[in-house]
Structure 1
Amino acid sequence: MNKTLKLYGLIFIIVMAVLALLELTKSDVTDWRKNFDVHEKSPFGLLIFSKEVDHLLKNKVQRTDLSPYDFYKTQKLKPHNILIVQSEIDSESWNKILQNVESGSDAMIISDSFNKKVADSLGFLPSRISYEDSNLLLLTDEKFAQDSLKIDKLPSGKGFELILESDEILGKEESDSKMANFIKISHGKGNLYLHAEPLILTNYYLLKPGNEKYVQDVFSYLPDRETVWFSGANKNRTESRSPLRFILSKPALRYAWWLFLGGLLLFIIFNAKRKQRIVPVIEPKKNKSVEFVKSIGNLYLQEGDFHDMMAKKAQYFLNRVRMDLLIDTKDLDEKFIHLLHLKTGKSVEEITEVTELIKKGQDPYASVMKEDLIKMNTLLDGILQ
């Protein structure tokens, strides 16, 4: 493993450690959004109501994720109860609900918003009836006089006005006894029960002691029969069908998944760069100069031409004297001997002897022996070593 990969690995481990430390030390943040989700444990989710609704309605609850329009296209039921909690109901679904109510069904719709066109046709007007930070919800029936529910966290303050004489007020807020937040509207053979404060069914309020009595009183208006709860209608988003939905639903797993993808992306980016090719090992060319010199030397020895070798040796020596010592070699006289003595530090006798051997090598008619060549070579190597 090269140094670059080690560095990336170290950075990755440090980032992982920091994220793990942050995850372990972070404090849980309460989600106060009004999600009205039957699977949510947050304060304004409907998880507790979803678990208790069967007991509340005597195990006669049929749940469906379909819209009322899609459900009643394939289902034809005898008179039954309809339950919808905080949903945006389209016009076609409202028509199906009203058709069933007209045939004898009863609908309990708990929401802080209603379709204006439907409201006009039924003879009521959704309105804001309170701007208080907290409201006490009461029921008008004397037998429920002791049961109330206080909305002390994010009340909607919604209600109804311009109610027809045939409509019945079932609940109101203590702050304004003239305005209703829970009404009954007769429609054909059935009734619609409209409640404008869906927070009464959320986890936060159902967990408060005594509030369950108010909720039981509200649902006591429904007849004892099968209830169809459009539990999926209150979802504003469709559930993900991705294979990763479990991982993405858990914060710790979600962080780990994105960190893994980020690390993988970095690894791909840095390793996608063109790497240096392996440099092949090339054997250096052998220096055969020595072999060449030996071959030439052997050739001269075989020929036995010591005079020629001595002349070439003298020529090479004088060339070095000119180039390195800057001494004129035209005349090998006393001046030459004196200058060479000064620049090399060798004795005058030694230089004089070498000079005589050089002259002998340059003389084409001189008789040269092997011993002369050896002696000249030894003296020259000693002078310019």
Structure 2
Amino acid sequence: MGKNEFLTPKAIANRIKAKGLQKLRWYCQMCQKQCRDENGFKCHCMSESHQRQMLVFGQNPNRIVDGYSEEFERSFMEHIKRSHRFSRVAATVVYNEYIADRHHIHMNSTQWATLTEFVKYLGRTGQCKVEETPKGWFMTYIDRDSETLFKERLKNKRHKSDVAEEEKQERAIIKQIERAEQLMPVSANTELVSSDALLLKSEQAGKIAFSLGSSSKSVVGETAESSKIVFEKFETEKNGPKIKNSGAQMKGGGGGSAIEDLMKEQEMAKERSNRKDYWLCEGIVVKVVSNALAEKGYYKKKGVVIKVIEKYVGEIEMLDSNHVLRVDQEELETVIPQIGCLVRIVNGAYRGSNARLISVDTDNYCAKVQIEKGIYDGRVLQAVDYEDICKVI
């Protein structure tokens, strides 16, 4: 029987021990051999197979080290691109995730002796944005993929086009309202003058006389007189209310209501087009209400949205710890600042506009804001829901 058969208890125990990760200093990259302790690594270095591999290494050491370094860098960047493409993460976290695979290229076979040197190298070459903090080195992947950049430029161009088209429509509607306000008094005065002229003409008209013969002259005259009185009474009752209504319209009843209806219709159209089921945007302060993150101490903590992923997921940089979390908008809520502070309208008719908080109605969970800058500069919105406004950093 051999020394360690495949199904013997000792062989099974050895495989179980070798299944997990071992110490890096007891790994031989040339032989791809992991030893469990110092004695095992010493025995391996004295073996004939290891000696042959070291002879191969001695013939061209620079080429082999450069090859391992290039493969380590490529695998490491592939991992961070796949797992942390849009987030700022600690370098140690990425490295621990990378070495979880037993068959990775080990750092002791590359040109970098420590992880700090490798992180600085990535920063110098422009592959990642690195920064040193009291909690260690943090890195952010710089996405230079041509397809991603093209999609980002196309998205920005489409957004700018939509904003320009919306502003153009708003200016056209405002011009129509101004034109209607200018024409409204003229049309009302014209209607009033024409009505007064008709009334005066009917009052100045003389009695109507009918002559059908001498025998029936008096009867016909009395009949004509009574017919005229009835006719004048009917005309007075018919024209009186019209003149009265036209005067009321001239004083601001009819014309004003038409303009108000037009503005209300415009507001409803904007509300329908800008009301979405997602509200996250960059630069706003949100509060984490996730029960899953309560155990880690993030519940009811505030953070800034630094990135929006696929409209519904945001990368949040916590204000107290500077940790970056990826949280769904269902587990976030808006933050209402103090009166006088700047807020952003994140949903509704004026979505994307910045406004100044004027007052807060705590009973109805709404606020009064005044828009700043842009085409709606100075417009006051009376009752805006808490969910539609959020504090700006």
The bucket for the TM-score relative to the shorter chain is under 0.3
Taking structure 2 as the reference length, the TM-score comes to 0.22
- For CA contacts below 8 A with separation 6 or more, give which structure has more relative contact order: 1
Greater C-alpha radius of gyration? 1
